Structure 1
Amino acid sequence: MALNKLRQLDQNSAGVTLPKDDLRIEGLLGENGELEGEYHAHICHVDEGKWTVELVDGIFEE
């Protein structure tokens, strides 16, 4: 099991990194290893110490 460190981002939020290998599997990275496009994720607290992260498609499409 890989462990990722929580990091302080600013006064109101913290973040955790997603491994590039996982992002690559989802098809979110280009050949150069950078994100291709703009993505949004829904993060939901589901239980003590548990969250889900779900990629949201088409949030700004009409």
Structure 2
Amino acid sequence: MNKRLVWPLWNLALAIGLGAFGAHALAGVLDEYGLGVYETARNYHMWMGLAWLILAVAG
């Protein structure tokens, strides 16, 4: 595997894991606002990982 792909793929795997953690473990802990903030942060994390992956493949 190309070394440039390692960091973006780990970043995306972490984003997926954090999304699953938020959906299952934090659903009963955070209120609606907190879950919304968490989901927004996870979305930004996912989009950044995808952008890094595109740059790694293109570069």
Write 1 or 2 for the structure with the bigger share of helix. Answer: 2
Instruction: Give yes or no for TM over 0.5.
Output: no
**Structure 2 length normalisation: TM-score?**
0.22
**Structure 1 length normalisation: TM-score?**
0.21
